[in-house]
């Protein structure tokens, strides 16, 4: 059943972006119905969080099942098809994390199968003739229940560690300054161009104001010079006239 889940075609599709938290598979009876007419966003395995949660939980359950039946006489035959499909999934999956975990579970299944073959070589009974589930259980080896509890605790510890590491990495990414993308660079360049344009405009206005002030001062100086010259001319003309009139009067008396 869990191997069939790993062969779901939705796990090979590119996930859609989403900020929703991954589903807690252990507390769910059904993730959702896969509808052909549903959009990509409405698919139960549309997001990366949902896909990753389903894959990790399926591989954990397969690993637990291997541990439960580790010392069963028919384990090699039972794991034959599972092992092939696990290797096929590991070879074709797009996620490096999924590939690593799937290969680890496949290696564990292969190791358990080889061990069972060696242990059952001492038996004369076939798997169908044995009524004991753990007929290959060595002496002083914990039984299936205890081994399962240990494995479940270890898997939960690894899951918590992964969540903690993910939270730390998320905080580090949030604290790290974002790289400027091409669009952002364009915006910054546009802002810089606008600022430079504004500064040029202010300088131009300031220069124009200075030029107008200088021109006005020159004009005022010219007007003052013209006034002084006119006054001097008028003064000199009047004095000359008075001198001429005086000369005429003096000549008449003679």
Contact between 41 and 16 under an 8 Å Cβ cutoff? The reply is yes
Could you please report the per-residue DSSP string of 86-101? HHHHHHH-S-HHHHHH
Mean pLDDT value across residues 177-197: 58
In the structure, what pLDDT confidence band is assigned to residue 162 with cuts at 50, 70 and 90?
A: confident
pLDDT value of residue 207? 73
How crowded is the C-beta side of 178, counted as CA atoms within 13 Å?
6
DSSP 253: H
Domain ranges in the chain are 2-141
Residues 182, 186, 187: CA angle, nearest 5 degrees = 120
Q: Which residue has the higher pLDDT, 245 or 209?
A: 209
Phi and psi at residue 150, to the nearest 5°: -65, -45
Mean pLDDT value across residues 39-49: 73
Could you please report the per-residue DSSP string of 93-161? -S-HHHHHHHHHHHHHHHHHHHHHHHHHTT--S-GGG---TTTTPPTT---HHHHHHHHHHHHHHHHHH
Q: Which residue has the higher pLDDT, 201 or 81?
A: 81
Residues in the chain: 254
Question: Which residues are bridge partners to 47 per DSSP?
Answer: 16
Residues 22, 23, 26: CA angle, nearest 5 degrees = 135
In the structure, what pLDDT confidence band is assigned to residue 233 with cuts at 50, 70 and 90?
A: very low
Per-residue pLDDT tens digits for 95-138? 899 999 999 999 999 999 999 999 988 888 777 778 888 889 98
Residues of the chain with pLDDT > 70, as a percent, come to 65
How crowded is the C-beta side of 240, counted as CA atoms within 13 Å?
6
pLDDT value of residue 143? 93
């Amino acid at each position: 059943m869990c191997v069939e889940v790993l062969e779901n075609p939705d796990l090979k599709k590119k996930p859609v972006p989403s900020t929703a938290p991954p589903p807690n598979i252990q507390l769910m009876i059904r993730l959702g119905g896969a509808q052909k007419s549903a959009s990509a966003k409405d698919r139960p395995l549309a997001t990366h969080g949902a896909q990753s949660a389903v894959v990790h939980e399926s591989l954990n359950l397969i690993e637990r099942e291997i541990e439960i039946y580790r010392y069963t006489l028919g384990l090699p035959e039972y794991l034959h098809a599972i092992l092939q499909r696990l290797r096929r999934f590991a070879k074709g999956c797009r996620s490096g994390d999924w590939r690593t975990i799937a290969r680890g579970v496949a290696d564990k299944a292969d190791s358990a199968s080889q061990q069972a073959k060696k242990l059952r070589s001492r038996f004369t009974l076939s798997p169908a003739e044995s009524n004991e589930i753990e007929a290959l259980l060595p002496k002083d080896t914990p039984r299936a229940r205890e081994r399962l509890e240990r494995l479940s605790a270890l898997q939960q510890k690894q899951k918590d560690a992964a969540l903690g590491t993910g939270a730390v990495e998320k905080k580090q990414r949030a604290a790290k300054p974002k790289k400027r993308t091409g669009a952002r660079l364009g915006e910054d360049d546009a802002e810089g161009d606008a600022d430079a344009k504004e500064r040029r405009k202010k300088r131009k206005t300031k220069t124009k104001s200075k030029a107008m002030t200088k021109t006005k001062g020159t004009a005022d100086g010219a007007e003052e010079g013209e006034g002084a010259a006119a006054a001097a001319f008028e003064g000199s003309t009047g004095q000359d006239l008075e001198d001429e009139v005086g000369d005429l009067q003096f000549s008449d008396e003679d």
